[in-house]
Amino acid sequence: MVIFLSILWNNIIPLSVMIAIGITLHRVFSLDIKTLSKLNFYLFSPAIIFKLLYTTEVTLKSAMSVLLFFVVFMGLMYVCVEGVIRLRGMQGGRRGAMRNSVLFYNSANYGIPLNELVFASNPFTLSVQVLIMMLQALLPNTYGIYSVNAHRISGKEIVRTILKQPVIYVIPLGFLMRGFHVPIPHALNVPLDYAANAFIGTALVTLGVQLGSMTVSFRSFMLKDVLLSCGLRLLVGPILAFGVVKLIQLDGLMAQALIVSSCVPTSLSSVLLAVEFDNEREFASQAVLTSTLLSIVTVTLVIYVLKI
């Protein structure tokens, strides 16, 4: 019960408040969601990723272990979601939206606070979570863009779109500057902090704006797809993660941190992609909202099973 209340108070309620603010602001002022989406994609998201990579201590051994886990885990998750897509007979943009809702999980503004709560701000487990966040940030800006556009534009156009994403340049830049101990001038560091600190709030307000612009729908096919997405993300995800850490023989804090990182709800990136490229906005928004609410129970269960 203590863990349940901690997750509710420290994660779900703050997220819900910001989403509610976004809904209210949109109802009053009719905010431009495209502008909010571009701010997230091209400014705030790259800023927070660079800041975390530059400031977090990461060892080569940890990085290789996390990368191996991530590749195997995401491969298995892809097989699972692809099986569901084929069984459901999904077509067009729904296929990409379904993949994104399962494969992209909230490793930043949910995963990092959760990691700090569960592991009492342990620097090692935080470094593991930051690596997962980096990899999760890279996926939506590469594969995610392909996924939502593959059914309607050419491969060359998709590549051009991906090459315009700042995140794919920010990640190697952050590693190189940290590795060679390159200092950031104060005149650049201050605005970087401002932009990084704005990411979570703006992303949650963007989700609220999208939800506020939706017509509430109880269509059975939409509800089934959303619940399938949540089941894969919140239940199948941590089960597969447990199997992968056993398969590649990870244990201790590393294994626990990776399993906890895998049980968080659907990422806001799936909504930002849906808005930016006008693909299944309603489904993406409902998947994020529903999985975030259901995660109160499922995340607590995972932590309890791990006996952390």
Q: In whole angstroms, give the CA distance from residue 254 to residue 248.
A: 12
pLDDT of residue 177: 94
Taking Cα atoms as reference points, which of 37, 43, 35 lies closest to residue 170? 43
The overall average pLDDT reported for the chain is: 87
Average the pLDDT over 112-124 and give the result.
84
pLDDT of residue 1: 67
**Could you report the per-residue pLDDT of 134-177, keeping only the tens digit for each?**
899 888 888 888 877 766 777 788 888 888 889 889 989 998 99
More confident position, 190 or 116? 190
pLDDT of residue 81: 97
Q: Are 135 and 111 in contact (CB under 8 A)?
A: no
Model confidence at 28, pLDDT cuts 50, 70, 90, reads very high
The answer, yes or no, to whether residue 306 has pLDDT greater than 90, is no
Note the pTM of the prediction, 2 decimals: 0.82
Architecture of domain 2-306: Up-down Bundle (1.20)
Highest mean pLDDT among 77-91, 103-117, 145-159, 259-273: 77-91
More confident position, 213 or 249? 249
Model confidence at 57, pLDDT cuts 50, 70, 90, reads confident
pLDDT of residue 207: 74
Average the pLDDT over 7-23 and give the result.
80
Q: Domain residues of the chain, as ranges?
A: 2-306
pLDDT over 90 percentage in the chain: 37
Average the pLDDT over 69-95 and give the result.
94
Model confidence at 285, pLDDT cuts 50, 70, 90, reads confident
**Could you report the per-residue pLDDT of 191-234, keeping only the tens digit for each?**
999 999 898 788 788 878 877 876 555 555 678 999 999 999 99
Cα dist. 72→63, 79, 131, 209, 245 in Å? 14, 11, 15, 35, 10
pLDDT of residue 151: 65
More confident position, 89 or 141? 89
Average the pLDDT over 50-72 and give the result.
89
